[in-house]
Structure 1
C-alpha cells in the first residue's frame, strides 16, 4: 500500500469537507440575514400599502432593567413653610389650594407649566408634562426617572389647574420615591418589531402616522406601598381625522398593555371645588 498516496487522499478529502462545511455555514448565515431583512421589508411594505407613515425611529436600546419604588406618604412637615391650604386627608396625595394664585407666563406655551412645576412644587423637576387640556384648564404631568416617564401611574401624577385669569389656583400631587433599578438587564424589543406587533393586532389604522415612540415604564406589580415597573414603549399615532391614539407595549415581553382604567383615573378628577 502506498501510504504517502493514501495520506494525500485523506488530506484532500478533509480539505474538501472543511470547505463544504464552511460554505454551508456561510450560506445558512446569509439566509438567516436575508430572512431578517425580508421580515423588516415586509412590515415596511405593509405599512406603506396602508399609507401608515413614520419618521426616524428611536435608536435601538439593547437593554433596560425593571425598576421598583415606594409610594410616598406626604406629611404636614413637608408644607410647613407654605401659606397654601393643604389637604392631606389621603396621606399618599397632596391637594394644595394656592391662597395667592401664581400667574402663568403664557398658557399657550407648554413650557410655562413646566416652569411653574419646577419653581413651586416639591420635587417638581421629577415630573414631565404629558398633556394640557386648555378647555378644562388642567395640565397633567407624569413622574419620570432617568428621563423616562412612568405612564399613567396613579402614584406618580401631578395635575395643575388654572383659572380664567391664567393663574394657577391649585394642584394635586402623588409621588413614588426610593426608586431602584433591578440588577438584571433585560433585552429591549426594537421599535420596528413593536410596530409590527401593533399592526398585526389591527391597532395601526390606514392613513395614520406614528408621531412618537419613547421608552418609559408602566406598572407591572402594584402592592400596598411598593411597585414594580417594566420598561414600556409608548407609541403615539395621529389618525387621518386628526385624533391621536396612544398605545403601550411591554418592551421586554412584547405584549400590548391595557391601561385604559389608569388613563381615565389619570385624566378625570373631582377637584372638590
Structure 2
C-alpha cells in the first residue's frame, strides 16, 4: 500500500474517532441538562405548593445494590449466648425463633427502650428501633442489612412486649444475609422526584415539611421465621419523614417507583400470630436457658 493511501486511512480513522467522542460528549451533556431541568421543575412545583425540604434530605440518591436473604437459624455461638442469658427465661423454637420473659419487668419509655433492649436482648445491635406502639403494647425493632434497615419483614424483627409502661419480654427472628459483593448497583429515583410523586398522590400536602429521607430495604413478601420460605430479593426503598412524625415509603428503583402502603398495626398482629403458630407447632425442638433441650 502506498504511503498516501496509508495517510488517508489514518486521517479517516481519527476523524471517525473524533466524531464518536463528540457524540458521547453531547449525549452526556444532554443527559445532564435533562436531569437539571427535571430537578428544577420539581423544585418549582414543590415551592409553589409551599412544601419545605429540610437540609437533611440528600440531594442525590445513593448507589445501593439489591440483596438476597432468607430466614436464618441461630448459629451455635448465638445459641450458647442465649443459654447464658440471666434475669429472664428464654426459649428458642426450631433454632430460629427466640422468645423470652423477664424475671422482673423493666420500666421503659420511648427514650429509654433502646437502652433496656441492649441490656436484655442478645444481638440487639443488629436491629434498629422503629416505634413504641402504645395501642398494641409493643416496641418494634427492624433488622439491619448492609447498615441499612430492612422494613416490615417478619423474618427480621424484634418485638418487645410492653405492659403498663414496663418491658416484660420479647420475641426475635432474624434474617440470614450472606456476604454479597459486586458492582450491581441500581439506578434509584431522585429524592425530589419522590417528594413530587408523594405530593401528587396526596400523601404529602401543601404546607408540609419533608424533614428526612433515607434508603432502606423492603420485600413485598414477609419471610416465614419457621424456615419454610426460600431466598428472597430485597430492593431499596425510600423512607420519607414528613413533619418530623409521619413516615411514608416509596420504592426507590427508578424502573418501578411505587408508593408502599404499610400498616404497622397489621404487621405487628400478623407477625405475632405467625410466631404463635410456630410455638404451638407439633414436634417442636425447644432450647431453653433454664435447662436442656425439650420437645413440645
Q: How high is the TM-score relative to the length of structure 1?
A: 0.73
Question: How far 1:175 sits from its partner (Å)?
Answer: 0.7
In the alignment, the residues of structure 1 paired with residue 138 and residue 239 of structure 2 have an alpha-carbon distance, to the nearest angstrom, of 22
- SS in structure 2 at match of 1:94: strand
Q: C-alpha offsets along residues 229-259 of structure 1, whole Å, 9 cap, x if unaligned?
A: 1122111223xxx972412223353421535
Provide the aligned length of Structure 1 versus Structure 2: 246
1:206 and 2:210 aligned: no
Q: Tell me whether 254-263 or 122-131 shows the greater mean CA deviation.
A: 254-263
- SS in structure 1 at match of 2:248: strand
1:231 pairs with one of 221, 227, 236: 236
Question: How far 1:137 sits from its partner (Å)?
Answer: 3.9
1:79 and 2:82 aligned: yes
RMSD (Å), alpha carbons: 3.7
Within 5 Å, which residues of 2 pair with 1:84-233? 84-88=88-92, 92-104=96-108, 107-109=109-111, 112-134=112-134, 136-164=136-164, 166-189=165-188, 190-219=190-219, 224-233=229-238
Q: How high is the TM-score relative to the length of structure 2?
A: 0.68
The structure-2 alpha-carbon separation of the partners of 1:43 and 1:263, relative to structure 1 and needing over 3 Å to count, comes to farther
Larger Rg, first or second structure (1 or 2) = 1
Contact 1:188 1:252 in 2 (8 A): yes
In the alignment, the residues of structure 2 paired with residue 149 and residue 115 of structure 1 have an alpha-carbon distance, to the nearest angstrom, of 19
Which segments of 5 or more consecutive residues in structure 2 lack a partner in the other structure?
1-17, 277-296
- What residue number does 1:247 align with? 249
- SS in structure 2 at match of 1:260: coil
Q: C-alpha offsets along residues 93-118 of structure 1, whole Å, 9 cap, x if unaligned?
A: 322111232344xx252xx2221222
The structure-2 alpha-carbon separation of the partners of 1:25 and 1:224, relative to structure 1 and needing over 3 Å to count, comes to closer
Question: How far 1:150 sits from its partner (Å)?
Answer: 0.2
Q: C-alpha offsets along residues 208-232 of structure 1, whole Å, 9 cap, x if unaligned?
A: 2212211111116657142221122
Which segments of 5 or more consecutive residues in structure 1 lack a partner in the other structure?
1-17
The structure-2 alpha-carbon separation of the partners of 1:101 and 1:192, relative to structure 1 and needing over 3 Å to count, comes to same
Contact 1:54 1:209 in 2 (8 A): yes
Question: How far 1:267 sits from its partner (Å)?
Answer: 6.1
